[in-house]
């Protein structure tokens, strides 16, 4: 006695690939606008000055914190 087959709950549908538009819409992301790998607009001297200022600021902050801890842990 053959088994009874039940119909599927869904019917597979063949989906066609989307066609490529010859004139795509303008994109708002950086890759679509061509600005992803834009060179830095600031001159080298200004970038080096910013780097030095940020580095000295970090070193200064660490120095102040270490000095404050030294005074707090071992005051004279």
Domain map (residue ranges) of the chain: 43-76
- Residue pair 61/67 in contact (Cβ under 8 Å)? The answer is no
pLDDT band at 62 (very low <50, low <70, confident <90, very high): very high
Radius of gyration of the chain (CA): 33
HEC profile for 30-72? HHHHCCCCCCCCCCHHHHHHHHHHHHHHHHHHHHHHHHHHHHH
Whether this prediction's pTM lies above 0.85 is answered by no
The per-residue pLDDT of the chain, averaged, comes to 77
Tens-place pLDDT, residues 15-37: 666 665 566 666 666 666 666 55
């Amino acid at each position: 006695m053959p088994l009874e087959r039940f119909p599927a709950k869904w019917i597979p549908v063949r989906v066609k690939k989307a066609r490529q538009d010859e004139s795509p819409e303008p994109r708002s992301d950086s890759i679509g606008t061509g600005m992803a790998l834009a060179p830095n607009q600031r001159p080298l001297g200004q970038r080096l000055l910013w780097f030095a200022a940020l580095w000295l600021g970090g070193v200064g902050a660490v120095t102040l914190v270490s000095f404050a801890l030294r005074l707090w842990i071992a005051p004279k």
